[in-house]
Structure 1
């Protein structure tokens, strides 16, 4: 179970799920909640069963952004079957695109 935390990115505050361990595998899959996103304790994600485009912020151990990527949910189109990652990151902050 992920707990809800406040996360500041630049000048913006977000309510995100703090996903650790096995819950980091789920992230925002099947998510209908009113949170802005999820903080994943890993440097790689994939997007099955995610309902929203996401802005991904890959963060280093000091929570500094090392890269931003736009991610789209997986569909039946094989071009959407991909993982998003950054080897320099320790965390991935997923923010629903309409919230950023």
Structure 2
């Protein structure tokens, strides 16, 4: 099943492939039910978009990106929800964001992403 086209995303000249989710259905589903993957959630307007870990099979690093494509907030190692209510958490950025980059846990440290880094997205035609 194809969820979205694969595009290139670059942060501080570190390039990776990423799926783009930009419809209501794709934004709602995100990486749910998958065993791995990277996805850029691209919302229609900036807001404090919350991310939950319902039906996730692996922990994520969440990179919140503003309308100027600058990283404004990072959550590392967000754990999937379980039957334990203590895991039922929604992750919100400190500021309004336009995009959220969902990646496997440890990705932020591995590539040394940090607040203020600029994100560039190259869409395939």
Q: Normalising by structure 1, report the TM-score.
A: 0.85
Other-structure match for 2:34: 31
What is the distance in 2 between the residues matched to 1:16 and 1:82? 25
Aligned-residue RMSD, C-alpha: 1.7
Residues 98 and 67 of structure 1: CA distance in aligned 2, closer, same or farther (over 3 Å): closer
* 2:92 maps to 1:80: no
Alpha-carbon shift at residue 98 of structure 1 (Å): 4.2
The 5-angstrom pairing of residues 1-100 of structure 1 reads 1-21=3-23, 22-32=25-35, 35=37, 37-42=38-43, 43-70=49-76, 71-86=78-93, 87-99=95-107, 100=110
SS in 2 for 1:48: coil
Structure 1: gaps (5+ residues): none
Alpha-carbon displacement from aligned partner over 1:4-59 (angstroms, at most 9, x marks no partner):
111112342221110011211111111135x4x11012422111111111111100
What is the distance in 1 between the residues matched to 2:12 and 2:86? 32
The higher radius of gyration belongs to 2
- Compare relative contact order (CA 8 Å, sep 6+) and give the higher one, 1 or 2: 2
SS in 1 for 2:97: coil
Structure 2: gaps (5+ residues): 44-48, 111-125
Task: Provide the aligned length of Structure 1 versus Structure 2.
Answer: 98
